[in-house]
Amino acid sequence: MAHNGSGNDGEKGAAARRMPGEAPAAGGLGLWVDRHISWFFVLPAVFFLAAVLAFPIVYTAGLSLFRWSGAAATPPVWVGLGNFADVFAGDPGFRNSLFVTAYFTGVSLLVEVALGVGLAQLLNREFVGKGIARTLLILPVAGTPVALALVWRHMYNPSNGIFTWFAEILRLPPQRWLADSISVIPSLILFDVWQWTPLIMLITLAGLVSLPADIYEAAQIDGASPWQSFWRITLPLVRPTIVAAAMLRFMDSVKTFDQIYVTTQGGPGIASQTLNLYVFDQAFQYLHFGYASALLIVLFFVILAGNVMLASIRRGRE
């Protein structure tokens, strides 16, 4: 309600000073609108949120209490909390997808943050072609995920993909990449790291640029090595930026769909089926709309918990 603060001061003064020709169109109504203008600014977005956020949440919560195939002819059957009981009582698909999501998101987030901060440190200096280098590095973030996923899928092909050839050149044991249930997640993580490390780098770089140079000069005079000044000065100072970037990445990482759907469809078997893909399958493959809704509610709380955890890292040491 902070918007009321600036609401009335100067209101009458401005109205009184208004030239006759510049009066608002509909006199009283115009003034009333103007006084409550802050609500008119946000009203469209509020309607939007009601339609795309509030309605789906309420609808999903309701639907999660039914069993329904989605067919218009057969009405939903009330099952109460039955769907949730099924989710937690040992649906192996759910447990698997929870594990896959934690594995995929956790490892790629850690690698991306470490590499992204390292790359930002590398690029945080003046050199010829800096602008071009930054632009080229950011292309994986902008490229169409489906197209990139198709390319990666073929690069990972065990019989004729270029990665298979690289592995042969490096004399690594033969890899089956996406086709093997052990190596599929690491392979997907590598793809994700390639695609999203540049974003972490970019955000961290923006944080690094804003650091004052004189602290480093002082540290150097005091005899700090570059390594020490990175750990003792740079890292603590840019930590809020890094955590913000990590939170952003976490939100999107849990949502990852295109890349996995196009490369493996959750396979082989269910080895790379994240929660997101599991819900998708339950809803649009098996038409278990009620069960999928229950899973969505759970997924929402998983994301919320992850964000609260990351936020507490940010707050914890400040």
Partner 1 sequence: MMGSWMDQGRRRFGRRAFFYAALALVLIVFIFPFFWMAFNSFKTHEKILEYPPAFVFAPTLDNFKNVLWQTPVLKFTWNSVVIAFGSLAVGMALGLPAAYGIARYGHRTLALGILVCRMIPGISFLVPWFIVFRALGLLDTYTGLVIAHLVITVPLITWIMIGFFEEVPVELEEAARIDGCSRAGVFLRIALPLVRPGLVSAAILALIFTWNSFLFPLILAGVKTKTLPVVVYSFMTFDYLDLGGVYAASTLVTLPVVILVLLVQRQFIRGLTLGGVKG
Applying the rule CB under 8 A, the residues between 133 and 192 that interact with partner 1 are: 133-148, 150-155, 159-160, 162, 164-165, 168
29, 122, 215, 235: residue in contact with partner 1 (rule CB under 8 A) = 122
45, 89, 213, 308: residue in contact with partner 1 (rule CB under 8 A) = 45
Window of 91-99, 103-111, 121-129, 214-222 that interacts with partner 1 by CB under 8 A: 121-129
List, as one string, the DSSP characters of 122-191: HHSS--TTHHHHHHHHHHHHHS-HHHHHHHHHHHT-TTT-HHHHHHHHTTPPP--GGGSTTTHHHHHHHH
Amino acid 309 reads M
6, 69, 225, 312: residue in contact with partner 1 (rule CB under 8 A) = 6
SS3 144: coil
Window of 91-99, 106-114, 193-201, 213-221 that interacts with partner 1 by CB under 8 A: 193-201
Number of residues that bind partner 1 (CB under 8 A): 101
List, as one string, the DSSP characters of 210-237: TS-HHHHHHHHHTT--HHHHIIIIIHHH
**154-159: long-range pairs with CB below 8 Å, 24+:** 156/187, 156/263
* Structure tokens that stand for 55 in this block: 């309605």
For partner 1, give the closer residue by CB, 40 or 231: 40
Window of 2-10, 78-86, 103-111, 308-316 that interacts with partner 1 by CB under 8 A: 2-10
- The reply on whether position 318 binds partner 1 by CB under 8 A is no
The minimum distance between CB 316 and partner 1, in angstroms, equals 19
Residues within window 218-257 making contact with partner 1, judged by CB under 8 A: 241, 244-245, 247-248, 251, 254-255, 257
Instruction: Specify the DSSP class assigned to residue 160.
Output: T
Residues 258-273 as b/e (b if ≥16 CB within 10 A, e otherwise) read: ebbbbbbebbeebbbb
203, 260, 271, 310: residue in contact with partner 1 (rule CB under 8 A) = 203
Residues in contact with 24: Cβ distance below 8 Å, sequence separation at least 6, in sequence order = 18, 30, 31, 34
The minimum distance between CB 81 and partner 1, in angstroms, equals 19
63, 87, 113, 189: residue in contact with partner 1 (rule CB under 8 A) = 63
Amino acid 17 reads R
Residues within window 258-297 making contact with partner 1, judged by CB under 8 A: 258, 261-262, 276, 279-280, 283-284, 289, 292-293, 296
